[in-house]
Structure 1
Amino acid sequence: MAERKPRKDAARNREAVLTAADTLFTRCESPADATMADIATAAGVGKGTLFRAFGDHTRLIRALYEARLEPVREAIEQGPPPLGPATPPLQRVPALLDAVLCFKLDNRHLALALEGNGGDSPYKAEHYERWHTLFHDMLEQIPGLTDSAFTAHALLAVVRADLVEHLSGHEGIPREEMRGHLASFAATFLGTRPGGG
């Protein structure tokens, strides 16, 4: 019983930090503009608590990204169509691309910060490898499609955070228009456009 309180405090502190980081990152031009000290102050915790829980700024960004991504992951792993595992790959691939695009649009600064911080290469980052594996496995199930590994990279390239930011933030393309362009691209790429191949 004596151990429950620290666990509750740790969970509460973690939630307070993620909420504070979320708020600060949204207000800043870039998540890098919000320091760990800023986040600790906003969360009402000590810097030591923050560093013990998350390690560093990059890990905090990753934790917030993962928390935001959880509903998408649940839909992919056990949800109904079009994202769920029972959906045929030719319908699931475009639905997943759309989900990734919407996620990046809703979390632009966070995605930009994380994708720009993958060590030597953003393609070695854990979140990228997870997306790539998911797309690769789905593409492997589509008859006649060759080189699923390269194709998965090509599909992920069209929803990179820097491209999404450029199209949405700099060119001002509305969300629904971007989704329409992506759906059209996916249909052409996969040969599912009506009357086309």
Structure 2
Amino acid sequence: MRERQQLPVLGQPPPERADAARNRQKIVDCAARMIAERGAEQLSLDEVAREACVGVGTVYRRFGDRAGLIYALIDERERHFQAAFLSGPSPLGPGGTPGERISAFLRALVDHFFGQEELFLLLEKSSPKARFAGPYHVYHAHLTALLAQLRPGADQRFLADVLLAPVNVGLLNFQRTERGFTVEQIKDGLDALVREIAR
């Protein structure tokens, strides 16, 4: 199973043979080291296979393509992030009002993307559909559930897409580098959007 198929659901990775687990970890560690040394833009599955001393076929079977390998690199942080908004302390986790939780979630998502900005940017470039695959489904379901409490009569699925639209790494990067917005200004703008939807 490719990593991008594992990521959307919070929990433990599926069981695997010990040798497969070792190879997977070796490949992921090698890719992380290469990115730290050379940057994410130069990441190539063929070169990762050479550096990790495994067959190219092993890398492609395990991860499918470069996007699959990037998902594996962000997987651990993604699982921690999902745990925080699904079962962590309030207001990000359960306990706050729907509006508070939505704002806390969007603010945390901004931090999550900026924390691994280079990888998320590479993911979007590697696969045009990557932005709407994997974790997007979890984020969307979470917001839809909160919006059902906040705006019972509205089309919550549409509003969840509206809230997620400005929180993509390409736009966030543009806002910070080209528009000169600070991270706090971006978060404040999202808070204002949530308030408008809540009215």
Place the TM-score, normalised by the shorter chain, in its bin: 0.7 to 0.9
Q: Name the larger-Rg structure.
A: 1
1:48 CA displacement: 3.1
Root-mean-square deviation (CA, aligned residues, Å) is: 2.6
Partner secondary structure for residue 146 of structure 2: helix
1:162 and 2:170 are equivalent in the alignment: yes
1:148-187 to structure 2, matched below 5 A, reads 148-187=156-195
Do the aligned partners of residues 10 and 189 (structure 1) sit closer, same or farther apart at CA in structure 2, a change above 3 Å counting? same
**Equivalent position of 1:105 in the other structure:** 114
Count of residue correspondences: 182
Task: Tell me the percent identity.
Answer: 31
After superposing the two structures, state which structure 1 stretch, 69-78 or 42-51, moved more: 42-51
Q: Secondary structure at the match of 1:141?
A: helix
Q: Could you give the per-residue CA deviations for residues 96-122 of structure 1, whole angstroms, max 9, x where no partner exists?
A: 101111111112222223345244x85
Deviation at 1:131, TM superposition (A): 1.7
Q: Return closer, same or farther for 1:19/1:182 CA change in 2, 3 Å cut-off.
A: farther
Runs of 4+ in 1 over 4 A off after TM superposition: none
Q: Secondary structure at the match of 1:180?
A: helix
Paired amino acid for 1:90:
G
Instruction: Report what 2:138 is aligned to.
Output: 130
Work out which structure has the larger RCO, using CA pairs closer than 8 Å and 6 or more positions apart in sequence: 2
- 1:25–1:109 contact (8 Å) kept in structure 2: no
Q: Which residue of 2 aligns with 1:12?
A: 22
What is the identity, as a one-letter code, of the residue corresponding to 1:174? Answer: T
Give, as a single letter, the amino acid of the residue that structure 1 aligns with 2:113.
Answer: K
- Shift of the 179–7 alpha-carbon distance from structure 1 to 2, 3 Å rule, reads same
Q: In the alignment, is the contact (CA less than 8 A) between 1:139 and 1:145 conserved in 2?
A: no
Distance 1:178 1:44, change over 3 A: farther
Alignment of structure 1 residues 3-152 onto 2, 5 Å:
7-25=17-35, 27-28=38-39, 30=41, 33-116=42-125, 117-119=127-129, 122-123=131-132, 125-143=133-151, 146-152=154-160
Structure 1: tracts of 5 or more residues without a match = 1-5, 192-197
1:113-151 deviation digits (Å, cap 9, x = unpaired)? 3345244x854x233222222211110111466221221
Contact 1:20 1:43 in 2 (8 A): yes
Superposed displacement of residue 172, structure 1: 4.2
Which digits, 9 at most, give the CA deviation of each residue in 1:58-104, with x for residues without a partner?
Answer: 22122223333110011122211122233321111011101111111
Residue identity matched to 1:127:
P
Distance 1:127 1:118 in 2: 15
TM-score by length of 1: 0.77
Deviates more, 1:68-77 or 1:175-184: 175-184
